[in-house]
């Protein structure tokens, strides 16, 4: 085992107890997996087609198959800057992805200005731009010399109307900020997504000059409308082979898994369970091998308990 039983459940304080070293993918700040990700057959062609056609890339596959890692590698190799991320839920709307208007914050600020003026102070100005923030999609559509990289994660979890709402924006590469138009504010410096940077928006209009590289992921939980699919380059992550899994283990753990032995058996069981329809993620296998790869990783009841704990089907409770 690569870990000792630091916690024993006996209530005894052990302030000097040595804690195990974290696995490589759980050190912080989190390191990008771009260097260790190996694209499966056909994925590089799909990425290059999406880049050439200026179309979103839709990748379908089970959880933990590396779908969202693809964009990290593309953004790193092509120097597209930090990846913008939009994690979709059933409550997600196109408006939130484009920009957000803090109307309650503005009302509160207006009341404070009125109170300040009442007692003779300087009331200041009411700048609507201070209460606007571009969303991840809105930031990706800003004019730029190079396309930005945008991850739209789990698009299949969206409300049924969201893919249709996206179509016009993805086709035209532009949108308008209604609040700026309504107040006839011709120039506004608006904050960008997850940044203190501000970009100038003229006449409430944002128009991309380079269409962003958009990667959308789907677990296949619901069908997406045909008009939406027609505008995407589509790729399905294949079921991994034993050889591919061994290569992933080598890249992530610097561990060579042979054709036989306990580690090889775990890899083979993992591949067979996936082929049988179970829902498992590669990081479950990596975590299990990480814990069992130390000098104490022998066949034992503890070993079996670790395997049972970490290699549970994700479709169950």
The CATH number of the domain where 190 resides is what? 3.40.50.300
Domain end marker among 191, 207, 236 = 236
Confidence (pLDDT) at 140: 98
Q: How would you write the pLDDT of the chain (317 residues) with one tens digit per residue?
A: 666 678 888 999 988 888 888 888 888 888 777 888 889 999 999 999 999 999 999 999 988 788 889 999 999 999 999 999 999 999 999 999 999 999 898 888 878 877 776 776 565 567 899 999 999 999 999 999 999 999 999 999 999 899 999 999 999 999 999 999 998 899 999 999 989 899 999 999 999 999 999 999 998 888 899 999 999 999 999 988 899 899 889 888 888 998 888 899 999 999 999 999 898 999 999 999 998 876 655 557 778 888 999 999 988 65
At a CB cut-off of 8 Å and minimum separation 6, what does 62 contact?
219, 220, 237, 274, 279, 280, 281
User: Which one, of 81, 56, 59, 78, lies nearest residue 68 by Cα?
Assistant: 59
State pTM to two decimals.
0.87
Domain that holds residue 298: 240-310
Domain end marker among 236, 266, 292 = 236
Question: How many domains, in total, are found in the chain?
Answer: 2
Largest CA distance in the chain: 82
Q: Does 153 fall in a domain?
A: yes
User: Which one, of 75, 222, 71, lies nearest residue 154 by Cα?
Assistant: 222
Determine contact, residues 99/135, Cβ cutoff 8 Å.
yes
Confidence (pLDDT) at 35: 80
The 3-state secondary structure of 20-70 reads CCCCHHHCCCCCCCCCCCCCCCCHHHHHHHHHHHCCCEEEECCCCCCCCHH
Tokens coding 293: 């790869």
Domain end marker among 211, 236, 261 = 236
Angstrom distance (rounded) from CA 53 to CA 287: 38
Task: Please check whether residues 157 and 273 belong to one and the same domain.
Answer: no
Tokens coding 32: 């990008």
Confidence (pLDDT) at 296: 56
Q: Does 305 fall in a domain?
A: yes
DSSP the chain: --S-----SS----TTPPPPPPPGGG-SSPPPSTTT--PPTTHHHHHHHHHHHT--EEEE--TTSSTTHHHHHHHHHTT--SPEEEE--TT--HHHHHEEE-HHHHHHHHHHHHHHHHTT-------GGGGEEE-HHHHHTS--SSPPEEEEETGGGS-TTHHHHHHHHHHH-EEE-HHHHHTT--EEEEEPTTSS-EEEEETTEEE-SS--EEEEEE-SSSPPPHHHHHTSEEEEPPPPPHHHHHHHHHHHH-----SSSHHHHHHHHHHHHHHTT----HHHHHHHHHHHSSTT--SSHHHHHHHHHHS--TT--
Task: Please check whether residues 154 and 167 belong to one and the same domain.
Answer: yes
Tokens coding 234: 């589509």
Q: Does 1 fall in a domain?
A: no
């Amino acid at each position: 085992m690569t870990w000792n039983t630091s916690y024993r459940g006996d209530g005894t304080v052990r302030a000097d107890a040595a804690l195990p070293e974290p696995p490589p993918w759980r050190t912080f700040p989190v390191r990008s997996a771009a260097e260790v990700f190996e694209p499966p057959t056909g994925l590089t062609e799909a990425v290059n087609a999406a880049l050439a056609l200026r179309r979103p890339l839709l990748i379908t596959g089970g959880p933990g198959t590396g779908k969202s890692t693809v964009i990290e590698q593309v953004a790193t190799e092509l120097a597209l800057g930090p990846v913008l991320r939009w994690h979709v839920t059933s409550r997600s709307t196109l408006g939130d992805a484009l920009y957000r208007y803090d109307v309650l914050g503005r009302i509160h600020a207006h009341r404070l200005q009125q109170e300040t003026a009442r007692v003779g102070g300087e009331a200041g100005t009411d700048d609507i731009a201070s209460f606007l923030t571009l969303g991840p999609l809105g930031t990706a559509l800003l004019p730029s010399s190079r396309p930005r990289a945008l991850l739209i994660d789990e698009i299949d979890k969206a409300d049924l109307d969201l893919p249709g709402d996206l179509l016009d924006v993805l086709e035209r590469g532009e949108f308008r900020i209604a609040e700026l138009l309504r107040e006839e504010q011709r120039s506004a410096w608006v904050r960008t997504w997850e940044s203190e940077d501000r970009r100038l928006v003229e006449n409430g209009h944002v128009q991309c000059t380079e269409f962003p590289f958009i990667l959308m992921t789907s677990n296949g939980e619901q069908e997406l409308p045909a008009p939406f699919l027609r505008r995407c380059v589509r790729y399905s992550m294949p079921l991994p082979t034993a050889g591919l899994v061994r290569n992933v283990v080598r890249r992530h753990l610097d561990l060579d898994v042979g054709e036989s032995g306990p580690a090889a058996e775990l890899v083979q069981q993992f591949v067979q369970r996936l082929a049988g329809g179970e829902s498992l993620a590669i990081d479950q296998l990596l975590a299990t091998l990480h814990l069992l790869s130390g000098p104490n990783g022998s066949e034992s009841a503890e070993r079996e308990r670790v395997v049972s704990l970490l290699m549970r089907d994700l479709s169950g409770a």
